[in-house]
Amino acid sequence: MAEIIKNDKRIINAWALFDWANSAYALVISTAIFPVYFIKNTPDIIDLLGLTFTNTSLYSFSVAFSYILIAILSPILSGIADYTGKRMFFLKVFTFMGSLACMAMWFFSGESHIWLGTSAFILATVGFAGGIVFYNSYLPLIVTEDRYDSVSAKGFAAGYVGSVILLLFILSMVLKPDWYGIVDDRMPARIGFVLVGIWWLGFALITFKYLPKDDKISNNENVLKKGFQEIKKVAGELRTKRNVGKFLMAFFFYSAGVQTIIYLATPFAEKILKFEPSEMIIIVIVLQLVGIVGAFLFAAVSDRIGNKLAIVLMVIIWLFICISAHFCNDKTLFYIIAAAVGMVMGGIQSVSRSTYSKMIDDDSPDVTSYFSFYDVLYKVAIVAGTMAFGIVDNLTGDMRYSVLALAVFFLISLFILFKTDFKKAMAKSALSTGTS
């Protein structure tokens, strides 16, 4: 990639705007609207290929399948992106795929279109998840290390604000369809799916305009083969960096718990605690608004006490969230749990991303491939978490036990974190900031 001026305000804002754009999917499709729409418009028990699933477990398995696909594709594509210089190209490909799939969810109008809706959801999820690895890989390219935490948090905060704005408009249609002359109770959500696609693609176009362009690297070799070679090369390097490997293992286990909770929080509230749509709005808004505070709060906490202790603290909070949700029978208590989730939801993702940015070499030519490993683990973690959740739900018929099972992931991650030496990241951060 050509020479890039780091800490350019315009480039940073354009980078953060992509979070604003694609977080509409994360909130409206994966968290707030689609899970509830899916459950309400599908039977409680679904037969597939001679097997019986609850609709919540099928939704969970759909998330897992999406991330299996992208976990297979991501390392290949990112290796190719490093070798051919097509980082922006793949960011665009996944963005167009995801946004158009969201628009296609319009056609999911009921039980008779369940497989169309599920397929569109899977493609949208692949588009969202696939773009993240290329988006994340820009961070160490556009800012200096001393700004990793703050700029990473800025991206997450932009995502929360933008997605809440769009969600509030869609929720106004869901709760007050007569304001818009809508008589079909399914129509507001379906319109919302289309709006997410338009929002995602529209704002992403601004990001595409200002982020550094791809280098046009000319070669006649087999780039697919080179993609595998690049991934193999990074894998070999990671085997010699034991503490980076330990961090990635811990990241895998706590991400399995975190992302599964984010995906299944609203189905849990709707199905187990019988929350009404108006009450669900409060939960989602609490999650997002507190999430903005949490992203910046834990960026500041990590600066003060170090990334390792900040992550450990957040994982402990997640552990108590799982235990509390298992025993929760009171809606007021669930609102408190939702606030706790919001506080650590953005924080743990933001600090994890910036921590890993500090751990990889500044001058590595394979930065996208390094982030691919990070991102593949993240996606496989979601597969592990959602599969575990779905299996326990299907076996017990009670999502409470599924939530409790997620506590195991957090316990394992804590054990690994305590055995991981973050000194390299801390030393690099201290060198850049002049603090210890």
Give a yes or no: residue 246 inside a domain. yes
Residue-by-residue DSSP string for 161-213: HHHHHHHHHHHHHHH-GGGGT---TTHHHHHHHHHHHHHHHHHHHHHHHHSPP
Range of weakest confidence among 18-22, 27-31, 117-121, 363-367: 363-367
What does the pLDDT look like over 314-366, one tens digit per residue?
Answer: 999 999 999 999 998 888 888 889 888 888 887 888 788 778 877 776 555 56
Most confident of 1-5, 86-90, 202-206: 202-206
In-domain check, residue 228 = no
Which residues are bridge partners to 51 per DSSP? 48
The residue range of the domain holding 154 is 9-214+233-427
> Which residues are paired to 53 by β-bridges?
46
* CATH number for 382: 1.20.1250.20
Say which amino acid occupies 252.
F
160-185 pLDDT per residue, tens: 788 889 988 998 898 889 999 999 88
345: tokens are 């939801």
Which tens digit of pLDDT belongs to each residue from 27-77? 888 878 888 888 888 888 877 667 788 888 888 888 888 888 888 887 777
Q: How confident is the model at residue 398 (pLDDT cuts 50, 70, 90)?
A: confident
pLDDT of residue 436: 32
- Identify the top-confidence range among 72-81, 291-300, 399-408: 399-408
Residue with tokens 């326990």: 392
* CA dihedral sign, ordered 345, 155, 174, 36: negative
Tell whether 99 is covered by a domain: yes
Residue 163 domain flag: yes
Is residue 436 included in any domain, yes or no? no
The rounded distance, in Å, linking the Cα atoms of 121 and 263 is: 13
Alpha helices per DSSP H over 3-143: 9-24, 34-40, 55-84, 87-104, 114-136, 139-142
- Report pTM: 0.75
Is 226 a member of any domain?
A: no
Q: Is residue 159 part of a domain?
A: yes
Nearest Cα to 349, choosing from 419, 262, 416? 262
Tally of domains in the chain: 1
Residues contacting 259, CB < 8 A, separation 6+: 378, 381, 382, 385, 386
Among 4-13, 207-216, 419-428, which is the least confidently predicted range? 419-428
Q: Identify whether 221 is part of a domain.
A: no
At residue 435, the pLDDT reads 39
- Taking all residues of the chain, what is their mean pLDDT, rounded to a whole number? 83
Residue 139's identity, in one-letter code, is L
Comparing 367 with 154, the larger pLDDT belongs to 154
DSSP result, 126-171: HHHHHHHHHHHTTHHHHS-GGGHHHHHHHHHHHHHHHHHHHHHHHH
